[in-house]
Amino acid sequence: MLRIQNLVKRYGHGEPVLRGLDLDVPGESVVSIIGASGAGKSTLLRCINRLVEPTEGSIELNGLELTHLKREELRKARRRIGMIFQGFNLVDRLTVMENVQCGRLGYIPYWRAALRKYPAEDIERAYHLMERVGIAHYANKRADALSGGERQRVGVVRALMQQPEILLADEPTASLDPVSSRQIMELLQKLSQELSLPVLINIHNVAEAREYTQRIVGMRFGKLIFDGKPADLDQAAMDAVYSGTAGDDRQQADVESRQAVTS
Digit-coded pLDDT (tens) for 77-92: 999 999 999 889 999 9
Of 164, 169, 165, nearest to 212 by C-alpha is: 169
Average pLDDT over the chain reads 89
pLDDT in tens, 219-236: 999 999 999 999 999 999
State pTM to two decimals.
0.87
Grouping H, G, I as helix, E, B as strand and the rest as coil, residue 206 is: helix
**Three-state secondary structure call for residue 94:** coil
Are 66 and 60 spatial neighbours (Cβ–Cβ below 8 Å)?
A: yes
| pLDDT reported for residue 245 | 44
Query: What pLDDT does 263 receive?
Result: 35
Average pLDDT over residues 246-256: 39
With beta carbons less than 8 A apart as the criterion, state whether 189 and 29 touch: no
Kindly tell me if the per-residue pLDDT of 257 is higher than 80: no
Cβ atoms of 158 and 100 closer than 8 Å:
yes
Helix (H, G, I), strand (E, B) or coil at 195: helix
Q: Is the pLDDT of residue 25 over 80?
A: yes
Give the ranges where 148-177 is alpha helix by DSSP (H).
Answer: 148-160
What pLDDT, in 10s, does the model give residues 159-218? 999 999 999 999 999 989 999 999 999 999 999 999 999 999 999 999 999 999 999 999
Percent of the chain with pLDDT over 90: 78
76 vs 249 pLDDT, higher one: 76
- Confidence band (pLDDT; 50, 70, 90) for 142? very high
- Averaged pLDDT, 8-17: 90
Supply the pLDDT for residue 50.
93
Cβ neighbours for 96, distance < 8 A, ≥ 6 positions apart: 130, 135, 138, 139, 140, 141, 142, 143, 146, 154
Q: What is the DSSP letter of 142?
A: B
State the Cα–Cα distance between residues 16 and 221, nearest whole angstrom. Answer: 9
Residue 71's Cβ-count burial label (10 Å; 0-12, 13-18, 19+) is exposed
